[in-house]
């Protein structure tokens, strides 16, 4: 099974396992972590001040990959576009996933454009979608 994990904060293997339905073990899967380069506000997004967002996304991807690897889940990581839907679309070109797992913040902790609707992702890409909440900075 190929799992495309889209996350806005570093995740662990335990968090990934908890987000998946029973019977899906990420240790038996090929995992691609994509961290969208989200902006904290619309203001920064519209000013195209992307350097900090790209740096943060690279850090989230690397930390997630290292944490997953240390827990027996082989993973690779990449940064994605600032729009999570576009990040998913781009990732699916080179990584034909069987399932998508979305990790996002909720409420006031959400970054600009982080409020991805799992139903929209499911409909657009025709894949099962799981969603979980993360903590920590976006």
Q: Is the pLDDT of residue 135 over 90?
A: no
Q: Is the pLDDT of residue 69 over 70?
A: yes
pLDDT number for residue 110: 55
Domain positions in the chain = 2-133
pLDDT number for residue 114: 64
Prediction pTM value: 0.88
pLDDT in tens, 21-68: 988 999 999 999 999 988 765 545 455 667 788 898 999 999 999 999
pLDDT number for residue 43: 47
Q: Please provide the CATH number assigned to the domain covering 2-133.
A: 3.40.50.620
> What is the secondary structure of 47-106 as a DSSP string?
TT--HHHHHHHHHHHHHHHHHHHHTT--EEEEEE-SSHHHHHHHHHHHS--SEEEEEE--
Q: ∠65-51-135 over CA atoms, to 5°? A: 45
pLDDT number for residue 52: 81
pLDDT in tens, 73-129: 999 999 998 889 999 999 999 999 999 999 986 766 555 566 788 999 999 999 999
């Amino acid at each position: 099974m190929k799992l495309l994990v889209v996350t806005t904060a570093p995740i662990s293997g335990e968090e990934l396992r908890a987000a998946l339905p029973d019977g899906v073990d990420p240790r038996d899967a090929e995992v691609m972590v994509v961290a969208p380069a989200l902006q904290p506000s619309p203001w920064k997004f519209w000013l195209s001040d992307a350097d900090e967002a790209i740096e943060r996304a690279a850090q989230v991807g690397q930390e997630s990959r290292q944490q997953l690897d240390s827990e027996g889940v082989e993973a690779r990581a990449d940064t994605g576009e600032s729009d999570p839907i576009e990040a998913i679309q781009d990732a699916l070109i080179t990584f034909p996933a069987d399932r998508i797992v979305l990790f996002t913040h909720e409420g006031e902790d959400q970054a600009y454009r982080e409020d991805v609707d799992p139903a929209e992702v499911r409909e657009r890409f025709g894949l099962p979608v799981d969603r979980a909440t993360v903590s920590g900075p976006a």
